[in-house]
Amino acid sequence: MSGSNEKGNFSADIAQEVINAALQSVQRRSTQSHAEEGVSLDVEAAAPPDELPVEAPSEGASAEVAELTAALAEARKEAENLRAQLDFSQGESRKLMERLKADHERSLRAAADLENYKKRAQKEKEEVQKFGSEKLLKDILPVMDNLDRAMDAAAKSPDFTSFQKGVAMTRKSFEDTLSRHGVKAFSAQGQAFDPRLHEAMSQAETADVPAGHVAYEVLRGYHLNERLIRPAMVVVARAPAPPPEPVAAAPEAPAATTATTDTEAGAAAAPEAGDAPAVPAETGHSAGGSQ
């Protein structure tokens, strides 16, 4: 009871002016907080005791306070939304930066790998250019050895038959070596001339081979894995020229022959005509003698 009496006495001592001043202070602080956009002030007003005869604030002040409180709540809500959006944007930005960093590192590694690949490819290309024919040369070396042995045998023996056989065997070995590497010869003798496979060196008139066909093969052609590496050097047959026709006799030839015959006949008959006048001469001579 004593406590209630003291409380009632203490409440009774608060003047109306103090309450109004407190309300104005709260209003100023609320206005200041709204202007600074971030600072909120929660005011917890203790309900005045029932026994305290406190006058209620004016209707205009209550409406303004309610409006400010609503504005503060709206601002607080908007600030929370903005903060959430900012946090989300920052999180997305961090993720994006991490992805960009990872992509940049991958691009750097890819560029380094590409540069290393170019260097390796260039080195391999140079090695192929230098040593690409190594296997072929290793297979050709035994052929050279056979040629050397054939030359030595020819120098020691005058028998060229054995030398010819040795050279033929060496040539066969060399041809087999080329065949193992995809090099194959082809013959063009007697075939129709094909500019894709043959190279004409000249033409020759012959009746043994049809015109437009290969009459002679100077050099054989070669394929490398079905690709032409050298055409065959050939002489192409040409139809022989027809023999010259005999000259026909002119129509006047028989008349000329007849005239010649007549002339010869006249020449042959001339002595007989001369003999005929001789008789009168002799007659005249006789007559003159008689005189």
58/212: higher pLDDT: 212
Q: What is the reported pLDDT for 250? A: 59
* Sheet containing 232-238, strands listed edge to edge, beginning at the edge strand earlier in sequence: 198-205, 232-238, 214-219
Q: What is the CATH number of the domain that holds 235?
A: 2.30.22.10
Burial label for 215, CB within 10 Å (0-12, 13-18, 19+), is buried
0.85 exceeded by pTM: no
Report the pLDDT averaged over residues 239-263: 63
Whether 210 is in a domain gets the answer: yes
**Boundary residue ending a domain (71, 100, 129):** 100
**Boundary residue ending a domain (100, 122, 137):** 100
272/124: higher pLDDT: 124
**Domain total for the chain?**
2
Give per-residue pLDDT as tens, 138-185.
888 888 788 878 777 777 777 777 778 888 888 888 888 888 888 888
Instruction: Give the Cα-Cα-Cα angle 259, 263, 269 (nearest 5 degrees).
Output: 145
Report the pLDDT averaged over residues 194-220: 92
Give per-residue pLDDT as tens, 10-50.
444 455 665 666 677 667 766 665 555 444 444 444 445 44
Whether 89 is in a domain gets the answer: yes
Whether 57 is in a domain gets the answer: yes
Q: Note the helical H segments in the chain.
A: 2-12, 16-36, 59-131, 134-156, 160-180, 253-290
Q: What is the reported pLDDT for 278? A: 43
- The Cα–Cα gap between 185 and 194 comes to 16
Tell me, rounded to whole angstroms, the distance of Cα 169 from its chain centroid: 45
Q: What percent of the chain has pLDDT over 90?
A: 23
Q: Please tell me which of 9-18, 180-189, 196-205, 243-252 the model is most confident about, judged by mean pLDDT.
A: 196-205
What average pLDDT does the chain have?
74
Whether 189 is in a domain gets the answer: yes
pLDDT range class, residue 8, cuts 50, 70, 90: very low
Report the pLDDT averaged over residues 223-234: 91
Whether 127 is in a domain gets the answer: no
Whether 161 is in a domain gets the answer: no
Q: What is the reported pLDDT for 20? A: 66
127/261: higher pLDDT: 127
Which structural domain, as residue segments, surrounds residue 35? 2-100
Q: What is the reported pLDDT for 131? A: 78
**Boundary residue ending a domain (100, 120, 146):** 100
Phi, psi of 43 (to 5 degrees): -110, 120
